[in-house]
Amino acid sequence: MRDPECRISEPALNFPSRLAALAMSSHETDLLSTLKWTSDGLIPAIVQDAESHEVLMMAWMNVEALRQTLATGQTHFYSRSRRAAWHKGGTSGHVQHVESVQIDCDADVVLIKARQVGGACHEGYHSCFFRRLNPDGTLEIIDSPVFEKTSVYGTQPEAHSPTGRSE
């Protein structure tokens, strides 16, 4: 049942047709002021496949990354370890085409529904959530890679990781 106090979330915008108008309007200012940014000026962003609803990844956004996402229709994030913005798929070509953006009831998390090209994970998987914790405490890989990371990133994939390190 939906919480009646949880009214911050609006129906998802139709990004392909309304993106540029939002990115250059007072609605962008309203959106940015509605969000509850961390003390570091960041907000967690969950990316979900627009069709299957599978969670693809979680990354951080700063104001500029969210603005770039709104302006281009592709996801942009902020790397806390590198202290730099990055465009998802900028190196690999595995971009995310934004279909909608939603805000949770506390306005402290952004949910992006996107069409993923290739894999979302720099490890070569469709989703970054390719490992499952089993009841015995072991981790199990539950997916197959959709690309070979060394063929996309070379011999140093950690240089292209959002965190700057290989897992």
Domain ranges of the chain: 15-122
Q: Residues annotated in the binding site, as ranges?
A: 104-106, 108, 121, 128
Which residues does residue 46 pair with via DSSP β-bridges, in sequence order? 58, 111
Q: Is the dihedral of CA 2, 3, 4, 9 positive or negative?
A: negative
User: What is residue 154's predicted lDDT score, i.e. its pLDDT?
Assistant: 84
| Both structure tokens of 31 | 């959106």
Output the CA torsion 10→16→17→18 (10° steps). 40
| The pLDDT value given to residue 30 | 84
Q: Give residues with Cβ within 8 angstroms of 142, minimum separation 6.
A: 130, 131, 132
pLDDT in tens, 3-22: 434 333 343 445 555 555 55
pLDDT the model gives residue 167:
28
Which residues sit in the known binding site for Mg(2+)? 104, 106, 108
Look at residue 153 in the predicted model and tell me its pLDDT.
85
Q: Which residues are annotated as a binding site for Zn(2+)?
A: 105, 121, 128
Instruction: Decide if domain 15-122 falls under CATH 3.10.20.810.
Output: yes
The parts of the chain modelled with pLDDT lower than 70 are 1-26, 156-167
Residue 165: other Cβ atoms inside 10 A? 10
Q: What is the pLDDT of residue 163?
A: 55
55 vs 113: CA distance, rounded Å: 9
Tokens 């959002």 label which residue?
A: 162
**Nearest partner of 96 among 119, 68, 79, 122, judged by Cα:** 119
What pLDDT is attached to residue 18? 55
pLDDT of residue 27: 74
Phi, psi of 52 (to 5 degrees): -85, -20
